Structure formats: structure tokens, C-alpha cells
Structure 1
Amino acid sequence: MGFHVDSETGRLRRVILHRPDLELKRLTPSNKDALLFDDVLWVRRARQEHDGFADVLRDRGVAVHLFGDLLREALDIPEARHLVLDRVFDEKEYGPLATDHLRAVFDGLDSAALAEALVGGMTKREFLERHAEPVSVRFHALGLDGFLLGPLPNHLFTRDTSAWIYDGVSINAMRWPARQRETVHFEAIYKHHPLFTGSGPFHTWSQGQADYPSTIEGGDVLVIGNGAVLIGMSERTTPQAVEMLARGLFAAGSATTIVALDMPKSRAFMHLDTVMTMVDADTFTQYAGLGMLRSYTIEPGGGLSDLKVTDHPPEHMHRAVAAALGLDSIRVLTATQDVHAAEREQWDDGCNVLAVEPGVVVAYERNVTTNTHLRKEGIEVIEIPGLPLIHIFEGHPRSGRASARPCTFPYHGWSVAGGGGRVCGGA
């Protein structure tokens, strides 16, 4: 059977992580806001912490695939290389005078150098050290240290750019310009890398950045099992994207229910997995400040593309999730602490944990109160320092359930390689 993610809490089998590299070295006090970071990271420490996180997963029997390796290997395949270069070097970005020249130069790079430039970026000065200058107003007007290709430090959060949902993958249209180029890299990997082309057929639930402004990010998507998906409609995931995803999942018979939560539209509540994640078959951890939200249950309608929507008041939020799981109720774990302490732990992704098997989660060691509370409630907590990032793509189905969620908080922050939760796809 091919890659599959049937739940957030089954035994985790595979993940995709991105090890911090050149793109984080390009992060500066002057560009960090545009690149969606709250601070400039210490890259050496980030690598150490990321490597430690990867080792924790490997020690639990999880196969860790590095995004940089997958991209480089995909770029060895002509069809994948052409897909990426055609999408990146567009006249609307570089103008008609420079586009063909730049595309030809980058096409001449070996796959390792091309992958580094695509993710780490390249300045005009670096380009001119090795290549001829195109006759182009757009190129001439760029300062020597300006980025010809901007860096993509958010690739660290692998879960956001794509999300495996049951027997298919959603290659997501990203909300902010700083992340929109990421999508084509995963598109090339899923369409052309042997890891995926040789795994058996799978569905593609979205059309990538072409779906913009209908945007959805993986940190808002939780595959909760029983054919159900829980989605946060945040500042980065739109209601229309939820409807489009529902239509595709229902038409394929891959899911039966979507519960959409109407989240606050603010950076503090960036993605659903920053405030609510699943830790066992019937158990969630939830940030106290989230409160109860208006929710919408979406189910197949009468026709092939029809959708039935049931609107729930905020006080019925947990009831709606339980019903989607076929349960009378769900267990929601929220640590008791004052409002200031709770806000600090939420900012540090206290509720954004990664389940590696039912009732066993990876969490940041700094969130002492939340981790202690989870342990008291019978959840095994594996603590890691710092902030890693992850993306899960294979969890191993087990009676309708599988595992997979990136430990991510980066998707939240800068945490798990995948942000918010899961690997590239499966479970």
C-alpha cells in the first residue's frame, strides 16, 4: 500500500524534516519580519537541536527523510527540474529581458547547487561572480546585495507546505509571499521523486499555489481518524479552501466528515496546531486562551459535488469533534495556570505536540506546566530542547488510524520541522 495518514496518533513511520542551512543564515534583523520570523536564529544551535530532534524520532523507529536530499534528487530528473525552473523564472517576476537568461544559467547548475540556490537564495553579487550580466532593467536596478532569489527559511516548517490526508496529499497554496515559492519544490518531489512515484498511486487534493487566494496550510489540518478531518480556519486557511478540500476528499471517498473551526485571525493563533493537537484516539491538548469556537460540520450532500453544512454554536465545539469521531465525548487536556503563564507556554507551542504513537508525544522541554499536566493524565512526554521542525507522511494505518504529525510548532514558530504537525504525508 502507498503512503497514507489515517490519524494524528497512530504509530509514526516516516517524516520529512528540513535541516537548517544557508536560508537561516540569510535571516537578518532587517528582513526577519518580511520572512515571517520573530527573531534571528542562532543557526549552529538550530542545527544541533534539529539533529537531536531527528535522532529522537529515529530512536523511536521513525524513518527520517531530509527535504534537502529529496529536492536535490528530484532536480536530477529533467521533468522535475523543468517544473521548478518554469515556475520560478517567470516574466512577471524577472521581466522579459532577464527571464530566459537567468533560467538558462540556473538550469546549467548541478542539482546540489541548484537546490541550495532555490532554498538558500542568491544575491546579485553572487550571481555576477560566476555568470554574465543580462541586459535587463530589472536586473540593473537591483542592488548588488539584493536577492535575485530570496531565501526560504520557512522551509523549516515542512508540515505547512503540504499535508497528507488519508490516501492523498494536499500541496498547499500558501498565504504569505515569503512562503509561496516553497510549494513548487514539494510539487516536484511528489510528482517526480522515486520515493513517491514508486510507492503506488495517491490522490492530490489541491493544485498548489495555483489555488491562491484559496489558501490552506498544513498546521491547520489534523487528520483525526474515523474518516474525519479537523481544520482551523485561521489567518492562513480560508473557508473556500476548506470547501474545495472537502469536495475532493468526499468525491474520492477518502473522508466522510470535516469539522472546521472558526479561529481568531491573528499571528498568536497562527495555525490550529499552535493551540490544539491530538495526543490519543479520543484526547486533545488545548490552550486555555483558545476558548470555544464556532464550528461547521461538512459532510457529503446529495450530489457528487454537493456539500451539507451544519453550523454549531461555540459551546458545541467539542461535541462536534466527538461526533465526527463517532464518540459520545472527547477528553480535552488543559493545564491549570494563570493567564500570563498560559500565554507564555502557548507562544512556546505548549499545546503543539507530535504524537509518535497513541498516548506518546514529543514536546518542548521548556513547557514545564503543560508537560507535567500531560504526564499526570497518562500521556508519555518525550522532551526535546529548542525548536525543531517536521513533516510526516507515513503513519501506518491501524484499524482506520495512523500516525503522523510533525512536531511542529513551526508551523508554529520555528519548531518542528514541519510546523504544526506532520510529515509529508502518511501515517
Structure 2
Amino acid sequence: MTQLSVGSEIGQLRQVIVHRPELALRRLTPSNCEDLLFDDVLRVESAGKEHDAFQKALRDNGVEVLLLHTLLAETLATPEGKEWIMERQFSPWRYGQALQREVLTSLNDMDLDDMAFHLIGGMTVSELDHKSHSLTLDTLKETDFVIDPIPNHLFTRDTSCWIYGGVSLNPMAKVARQRETVHLRAIYRFHPKFRNADFITYYGDEDINYDHATIEGGDVLVIGKGSVLIGLSERTSPQGIENLAQALFKSGQAKKVIAVMLPKDRSCMHLDTVFTHMTHDCFSYYPGVNLDTSPCWELRPGDEGRVVAERTKAGLFKTLAKALDIDSLRMIPTGGDVFEAEREQWNDANNVLAISPGKVIGYERNVHTLKKMEAAGIDVITIPGEDLGRGRGGARCMSCPILRDGI
């Protein structure tokens, strides 16, 4: 039986899920990109080539790359997986009965690869194979979506995050991203690779309304040695952290969760946009957000399965050093002067992905920060990001590790 586990942020990365840009990003326009949580429209062909370079960097360093589109199509090949997905995305309450049948008929007429293509990329009225006598359909224009595109699937880090011997299937804060979790829930439940694998599902795999208890993987750092760091952000709530912490403690997979407050700003949407782990004692951080003076809590198991949260007085950096059992941390700031640092942080200079201790992948455009990392002894593998970076996500955002060594 395959055993999947992510034991740290920096141990040797062995398997990862990524998603290459395709139809969903071609659906982005100036009029809808804000609703789809993007700041700009991307050149999809260029973004695809840049993503290919990212995948090559991973494979060249011994990482097995799994493509989300392929995993979804292979999940749809299982009758129970396909039925499960359709039941959760195409109800008569969303479409009305006539249009529901129309959409399902169109999807079922496709081969599995095209079906996955449209589940992620969306479908317009004009792409329906049949036209029924539907009141709902009659109110729509030919260019309206009957299946909304999910361009944020590009950022596989957020939808599910692996923590030690299990996974959290994250209830997403924004409606535009909530269908992503349906796909990952189905993949982990029905795909042959995961169906017989040995792992725990901590959180998010029930058909319930999680209400305010949202969490996204960009805020979750598996520090190692039984500790987890989670950012309190615009997308990850204290309720989400408490519920995930309770599941982690109950399973025995973690002994401590550290929570730190982030500003509710677009520029630091997730913790990993301002703070990432690069080697045992070394982190990349953005000085424009002073995490060491931000409110910080330690959560630990209490009596009768309760979670106890206590405000720390030491500050985040000393709290992390203690969790890692080292004297102090080396903090590598975003490079350049105050203006250059702000620009590079916006372009994901701090959102690097460690593939082994002291070796990271980052965007080549962030030259000032890369120089600081290299001066600190970090081996930086650079990839192009002129278009991918406009999606506001770097190498860590675009990767979901499912097998990584501990420290």
C-alpha cells in the first residue's frame, strides 16, 4: 500500500500535483477577471510555456510531477467517481431541471479528457450540444457560462494541503474557488493512486456547510518535528485553524499549531506570499509585513479533545526556532530598496518552493531577492514568470506536495 506523507517544507520533494494553464485562463477577460480572483488577463500560451519550464525544473531534480487535469480525467473514468462529481456540481437547484439535463447530456457526450477540460475550463451556452425548452436557458446569452471556469486551479497549493500523514481538503473562502475542492475530494477518494493509499483525511471531506471555518493551503506551512504554522489571513479564519488543529491533534500527527496574524491585504493574501522555509534554519520573508511583532498563538491539545490556544509573548521567530529545536533563525529579506522590495514581493519573490534543504525554485525576474538568497548559501533554480507571475502566485502556490521527506 502506498504511503503518502509531507513531513516538512524543506525535505526532499518526491511527488507533487500541478496544473498547467489551459481553457480556464483563456476565459479570463478584463470584465470578469476580478470576479475570478485575478488582477489581470494572462497570455495563456506564454504562461503554458513558463509552466512547462517549472515542470522541467521539478523533474530535473527528481520530483515526480502529477498533472491535475490528468488525475481528474482518470477519476472520471471510475463510474462512482464520475457520478460523485456530477451529483455535487450539477443539481437542479443550481440549474433548474431542464438545463441540468442539458448540461449533463453535453458532458456525457464527451470523452473523459474533454469532460475534465470543461469541468475546469467552463462551458458556455453556445457550447451546449442540445437546446432544451428551459426557462433558465432562455434567460442566458450565448456567451454566458453554464459551467463557470476555475482558473485558480493553477494554484494547487490552496485547495488541499498535505500535513504529515494526511490531507486537509480545504473549504475555500471565495465562491469562485469552492468547486475546486469537489475535484480534489473526488481525486483523493476515487483515483486508483489514492483510493488504496495510506493517509488520513483531516478536514473538509463532508457534504456540509463549513460556514466561517475556511482554510487555504497557502497559509499552511509544515514546519516539521510535529509542528505546523498557519497564517490568519483574509482566506484562512480562526475557526478553520481551530477545526484543523483539533483533527491534527486527534490523529496524533501534530503536537503543536502556531498561528500568526496577517494583514488582510491583497498583496499578502496568504502566509507564503511573505514567508517561506528554505533550509533548516533559514526563511525568506518580506520586511514590509513584520510577522515577528504580529499577534501569534500556540495551539495545543487540551483535555477531552479540546484545543487550547495561548497568545505567545516571545514573537513568531523565537517561537519557530523553539519548535525547530535551533537557537535562532536566519531571515533573508526581500531584496532591493523599499520600492524594489515591494515590487518583488508583489511578483512572488518570497513564494519559493524548496525541493530539498537549501535548494529552491523561484521566478528569475526577482533579481534583488535572488541575490540575497544566493549570498545566504541558498541554491536557487530560476524559472520564467512574466505571465505566470501576473496570476499572483509563485512556485510554492503552483504546487501541492503529496510526498516529501521530513527533517
Smaller-chain TM-score range? over 0.9
Distance 1:253 1:422, change over 3 A: same
Match of 2:264 in 1: 265
Which letter does structure 1 place at the counterpart of 2:175? P
Number of residue pairs aligned between Structure 1 and Structure 2: 401
Which letter does structure 2 place at the counterpart of 1:174? M
Tell me, in whole angstroms, the C-alpha distance in 2 between the residues paired with 1:34 and 1:160.
18
User: RMSD in angstroms over aligned alpha carbons?
Assistant: 1.9
* 3-state SS of 1:265 partner: coil
Match of 1:162 in 2: 160
* 3-state SS of 1:332 partner: strand
Unaligned regions of 5+ residues in structure 2, if any?
none
Tell me, in whole angstroms, the C-alpha distance in 2 between the residues paired with 1:14 and 1:219.
18
Question: Are 2:167 and 2:199, in contact at CA under 8 Å, matched by a contact in 1?
Answer: no
Comparing 286-295 and 316-325, the one that deviates more: 316-325
Match of 1:67 in 2: 68
Question: Are 1:15 and 1:425, in contact at CA under 8 Å, matched by a contact in 2?
Answer: yes
* 3-state SS of 2:213 partner: coil
Which letter does structure 2 place at the counterpart of 1:334? P
Q: Deviations over 1:204-239 (max 9, x none)?
A: 433367424311111011001010001011100000
* 3-state SS of 1:33 partner: coil
* 3-state SS of 1:278 partner: strand
Which letter does structure 2 place at the counterpart of 1:241? G
Pick aligned residue for 1:413 from 389, 392, 404: 392
Distance 1:204 1:302, change over 3 A: closer
Question: Are 1:269 and 1:275, in contact at CA under 8 Å, matched by a contact in 2?
Answer: yes
What is the CA distance between 1:199 and its match in structure 2? 2.6
Match of 1:214 in 2: 213
Match of 2:311 in 1: 311
Tell me, in whole angstroms, the C-alpha distance in 2 between the residues paired with 1:187 and 1:22.
22
Tell me, in whole angstroms, the C-alpha distance in 1 between the residues paired with 2:251 and 2:186.
23
Question: Are 2:24 and 2:121, in contact at CA under 8 Å, matched by a contact in 1?
Answer: yes
Tell me, in whole angstroms, the C-alpha distance in 2 between the residues paired with 1:85 and 1:388.
33
What is the CA distance between 1:89 and its match in structure 2? 0.6
Match of 2:150 in 1: 152
Tell me, in whole angstroms, the C-alpha distance in 2 between the residues paired with 1:137 and 1:51.
43
Distance 1:204 1:78, change over 3 A: farther
* 3-state SS of 1:174 partner: coil
Tell me, in whole angstroms, the C-alpha distance in 1 between the residues paired with 2:398 and 2:269.
10
Match of 2:29 in 1: 28
Match of 1:226 in 2: 225
Distance 1:70 1:7, change over 3 A: same
What is the CA distance between 1:290 and its match in structure 2? 1.1
Tell me, in whole angstroms, the C-alpha distance in 2 between the residues paired with 1:26 and 1:159.
22
What is the CA distance between 1:109 and its match in structure 2? 3.0
Which letter does structure 2 place at the counterpart of 1:229? V
Question: Are 1:53 and 1:388, in contact at CA under 8 Å, matched by a contact in 2?
Answer: no
Match of 2:127 in 1: 126
Which letter does structure 2 place at the counterpart of 1:207? D
* 3-state SS of 1:230 partner: strand
Question: Are 2:12 and 2:404, in contact at CA under 8 Å, matched by a contact in 1?
Answer: no
Which letter does structure 1 place at the counterpart of 2:346? W
Tell me, in whole angstroms, the C-alpha distance in 2 between the residues paired with 1:420 and 1:164.
14
What is the CA distance between 1:262 and its match in structure 2? 0.8
TM-score, normalised with respect to structure 2: 0.94
What is the CA distance between 1:368 and its match in structure 2? 0.9
Which letter does structure 1 place at the counterpart of 2:91? D
4+ residue runs over 4 A deviation? 424-427
What is the CA distance between 1:91 and its match in structure 2? 2.7
Match of 1:94 in 2: 95
What is the CA distance between 1:9 and its match in structure 2? 0.2
* 3-state SS of 2:198 partner: coil
Tell me, in whole angstroms, the C-alpha distance in 2 between the residues paired with 1:347 and 1:388.
13
Unaligned regions of 5+ residues in structure 1, if any?
390-408
Distance 1:183 1:425, change over 3 A: farther
What is the CA distance between 1:263 and its match in structure 2? 0.6
Comparing 194-203 and 376-385, the one that deviates more: 194-203
1:28-427 to 2 correspondence within 5 Å? 28-127=29-128, 130-131=129-130, 133-207=131-205, 210=208, 211-291=210-290, 292=292, 293-303=294-304, 305-313=305-313, 316-335=315-334, 337-386=336-385, 413-416=392-395, 419=397, 422-424=400-402, 426-427=404-405
What is the CA distance between 1:120 and its match in structure 2? 1.0
What is the CA distance between 1:337 and its match in structure 2? 3.2
User: What's the % identity of the aligned pairs?
Assistant: 44
Q: Deviations over 1:106-159 (max 9, x none)?
A: 2343211211110111100111xx22x233221211111101111111111111
